[in-house]
């Protein structure tokens, strides 16, 4: 027997309609590429989102057709979020940090038909448009009088001219809530990028969960600064959660230096900011010399990579700002966990609290997680045992766009590729990437733990721990080290340095000194390449056997 509640699909259009009706005068402030601040209200955003929908209708774009963006965080990008998805098309946020060839490849793979780009990305568009035959409309996110002449880009129109001619009324269509709403490609370290294809349902459910008190804690009284880019996993869903709560939104555009971010926080009464450690590092570095203070900022959420303890402590102890560690993935819309303490942690000393706050945190309701061993059996939540982290839920990926990479699920669970522990209170902590963890004698050794110890040695500039095949133990860890210029360090001295800092069986079997460790475009160590470079390397213990 079915319940007798109304059959109302969960649609992204309802977010902007709600924001208009209930928070029509709520402010949206954007730093533009021109450098000035643009301000308007949710009612304006709603009106112009409807004009976007009209413009897409006018060019005959069909349901589910893709509209791409190459844009910073700003009001026009926000209008595209609602206008494109709300009218039934799929918003495809391209990552401008990629090489134009990659952007071109992704735009073609996604079959984008419209590309809306910030003028700062004009050179990139000029470099790729000839090889993107599917794009039939280019829209420069600018006023009509700023449209560059002789750009060489065909079918180019300014955003303001494009939407300006459209009527401001529009009846948002109703359709299956499982329809695709937006997409984002992963920056996979191997193989071609693959896309997560979000639905209206997954987006709305994620928006509810993200706004909860133990997650981002968003209310209509908040002023929110999404430093995390709207071109990557929808800025952690903040545009949607902001509309759901009617909070003020402050977009930083492309200016993420400490001074610009600090001034924006102060001028716009920002209470909550979401960003990555590097941006916060610049912010704190700007503030410290002049003894600057926050007058309104209460909380930040930090994700993308692990947050250094010193940063958590600086925000909390020096500035009275709560730091939340968040964890997620493109394949998870993206939020999976946020680290907010429980009542029982109130009484802990600050250092103990910091230890917990360094974890990735507790799952949002809607995300199930578990850790499993190599045999797939679930492992205990004891905060010690680590295993492959798997997740499931209505905003977790089922398969990639066009079926790329086959069926990624394991018994309905998505393998995150991370190795993690989960403690008895449900706090998850990433300990390694699955492909980097060293499997030794049925036990796992965290490559990151080994690297962190090596990096603590004063003579070490960079260290990578990798597993090397071993006939008895399957794998044994070695540490590959780049010495600091002019520093003296022997294999034996570094191995002694590990003593007492790690269990004996987890200690590396060898130290290999190299001149450089291969790095990727974002600064991550490319361990796969390192393993290739070390082909033919033999562990000392095996050399002994051979001899």
For the question of residue 522 being annotated catalytic, the response is no
Q: Does 348 bind a second copy (CB under 8 A)?
A: no
Nearer to a second copy, 2 or 503 (CB): 2
For the question of residue 483 being annotated catalytic, the response is no
Q: Does 18 bind a second copy (CB under 8 A)?
A: yes
Q: Please, what is the minimum distance in Å from the beta carbon of residue 398 to a second copy?
A: 5
Chain residues 190-229 in contact with a second copy, contact rule CB under 8 A: 196-202, 205, 208-209, 211-214, 217-221, 223
**Whole-number Å distance between alpha carbons of 339 and 327:** 9
Element spanning 416, H or E: strand 414-422
Rule CB under 8 A: choose which of 57, 263, 313, 425 binds a second copy. 425
Q: Please, what is the minimum distance in Å from the beta carbon of residue 211 to a second copy?
A: 6
Q: Please, what is the minimum distance in Å from the beta carbon of residue 365 to a second copy?
A: 5
Element spanning 112, H or E: strand 112-117
Nearer to a second copy, 213 or 471 (CB): 213
Q: Which of 456, 384, 451, 366 is nearest to 420 (CA)?
A: 384
Chain residues 34-63 in contact with a second copy, contact rule CB under 8 A: 63
Rule CB under 8 A: choose which of 1, 516, 544, 545 binds a second copy. 1
Nearer to a second copy, 8 or 522 (CB): 8
Interface mask toward a second copy for 242-271; x: CB under 8 A: --xxx-x-----------------------
**Whole-number Å distance between alpha carbons of 136 and 35:** 30
Please, which residues bridge with residue 390 across strands? 370, 415
Nearer to a second copy, 244 or 481 (CB): 244
Rule CB under 8 A: choose which of 237, 253, 254, 393 binds a second copy. 393
Rule CB under 8 A: choose which of 286, 316, 398, 501 binds a second copy. 398
Interface mask toward a second copy for 73-112; x: CB under 8 A: -----------------x----------------------
Interface mask toward a second copy for 146-185; x: CB under 8 A: ------------------------------x-xxxx----
Q: What residues have CB less than 8 Å from 351, skipping those under 6 apart?
A: none
What is the CA angle 173-174-180, rounded to 5?
95
CA quadruple 198, 201, 205, 210: dihedral, nearest 10: 30
Whether residue 425 contacts residue 483, with contact meaning beta carbons closer than 8 Å, is answered with no
Write down the catalytic residue from 72, 327, 444, 473: 444
Nearer to a second copy, 26 or 74 (CB): 26
Nearer to a second copy, 9 or 277 (CB): 9
Q: Does 395 bind a second copy (CB under 8 A)?
A: yes
CA distances from 228 to 53, 92, 279, 313 (A): 26, 17, 9, 21
Q: Does 8 bind a second copy (CB under 8 A)?
A: yes
Number of Cβ within a 10 Å radius of residue 56: 25
Q: Please, what is the minimum distance in Å from the beta carbon of residue 244 to a second copy?
A: 5
Write down the catalytic residue from 79, 118, 322, 331: 331
Q: Does 11 bind a second copy (CB under 8 A)?
A: no
Rule CB under 8 A: choose which of 343, 411, 458, 516 binds a second copy. 343
Q: Which of 358, 262, 374, 266 is nearest to 307 (CA)?
A: 358
For the question of residue 266 being annotated catalytic, the response is no
For the question of residue 535 being annotated catalytic, the response is no
Whether residue 59 contacts residue 49, with contact meaning beta carbons closer than 8 Å, is answered with no
Q: Which string of b and e fits 119-154 if b means at least 16 CB within 10 Å?
A: bebbebbeebbeebeebebbbbbbeeeebeeebebe
Nearer to a second copy, 260 or 271 (CB): 271
Q: Does 401 bind a second copy (CB under 8 A)?
A: yes
φ, ψ for residue 290, nearest 5 deg: -95, 5
Q: Does 295 bind a second copy (CB under 8 A)?
A: no
Element spanning 464, H or E: strand 460-470
Chain residues 350-379 in contact with a second copy, contact rule CB under 8 A: 362-363, 365, 368
How far, rounded to the nearest angstrom, does the alpha carbon of residue 32 sit from its chain's CA centroid? 23
**Whole-number Å distance between alpha carbons of 59 and 41:** 27
Whether residue 29 contacts residue 256, with contact meaning beta carbons closer than 8 Å, is answered with no
- Residues with a catalytic annotation lie at 186, 331, 439, 444
């Amino acid at each position: 027997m079915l319940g007798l509640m109304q059959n109302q699909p969960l649609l992204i259009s309802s977010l902007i309609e709600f924001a208009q009706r209930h928070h029509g005068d709520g402010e949206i402030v954007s730093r533009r590429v021109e450098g000035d601040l643009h301000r308007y209200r949710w009612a304006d955003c709603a009106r112009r989102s409807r004009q976007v929908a009209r413009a897409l209708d006018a060019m005959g774009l069909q349901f589910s057709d893709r509209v791409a963006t190459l844009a910073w965080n700003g009001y026009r990008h926000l209008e595209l979020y609602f206008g494109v998805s709300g009218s039934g098309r799929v918003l495809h946020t391209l990552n401008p940090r990629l090489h134009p060839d990659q952007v071109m490849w992704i735009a073609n793979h996604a079959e984008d038909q419209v590309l809306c780009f910030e003028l700062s990305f004009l050179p990139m568009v000029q470099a790729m448009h000839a090889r993107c035959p599917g794009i039939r409309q280019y829209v420069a996110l600018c006023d009509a009088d700023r449209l560059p002449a002789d750009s060489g880009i065909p079918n180019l129109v300014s955003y303001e001219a494009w939407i300006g001619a459209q009527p401001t009324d529009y009846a948002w269509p109703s359709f299956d809530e499982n329809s695709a709403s937006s997409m984002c490609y992963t920056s996979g370290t191997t193989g071609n990028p693959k896309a997560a294809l979000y639905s209206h349902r997954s987006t709305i459910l994620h928006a509810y969960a993200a706004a909860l008190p133990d997650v981002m804690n968003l209310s209509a009284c908040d002023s929110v600064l999404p430093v995390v880019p709207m071109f990557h996993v929808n800025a952690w869903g903040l545009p949607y959660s902001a509309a759901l709560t009617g909070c003020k939104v402050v977009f930083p555009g492309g200016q993420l230096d400490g001074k610009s971010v600090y001034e924006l926080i102060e001028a716009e009464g920002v209470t909550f900011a979401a960003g990555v450690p590097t941006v916060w590092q610049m912010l704190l570095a700007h503030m410290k010399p002049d003894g600057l203070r926050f007058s309104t900022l209460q909380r930040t959420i930090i994700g993308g990579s692990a947050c250094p303890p010193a940063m958590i402590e600086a925000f909390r102890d020096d500035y009275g700002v709560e730091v939340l560690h968040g964890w997620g993935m493109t394949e998870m819309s993206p939020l999976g966990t946020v680290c907010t303490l429980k009542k029982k942690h109130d009484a802990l000393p600050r250092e103990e609290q910091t230890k917990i706050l360094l974890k990735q945190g507790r799952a949002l309701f809607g995300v199930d997680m578990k850790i499993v061993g190599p045999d797939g059996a679930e492992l205990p939540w004891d905060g010690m045992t680590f295993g492959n982290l798997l997740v499931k839920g209505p905003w977790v990926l089922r398969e990639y766009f066009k079926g790329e990479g086959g069926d990624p699920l394991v018994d309905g669970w998505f393998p995150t590729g991370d190795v993690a522990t989960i403690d008895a209170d449900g706090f998850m902590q990433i300990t390694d990437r699955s492909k980097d963890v060293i499997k030794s004698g049925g036990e796992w050794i965290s490559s990151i733990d080994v690297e962190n110890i090596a990096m603590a040695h004063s003579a070490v500039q960079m260290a990578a721990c990798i597993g090397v095949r071993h006939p008895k133990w399957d794998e044994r860890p070695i540490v590959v080290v780049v010495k600091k210029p002019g520093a003296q360090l022997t294999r034996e001295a570094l191995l002694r340095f590990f003593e007492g800092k790690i269990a004996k069986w987890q200690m590396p079997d060898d130290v290999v000194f190299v001149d450089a460790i291969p790095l990727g475009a974002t600064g991550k160590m490319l361990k796969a390449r390192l393993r290739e470079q070390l082909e033919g390397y033999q562990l000392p213990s095996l050399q002994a056997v051979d001899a």
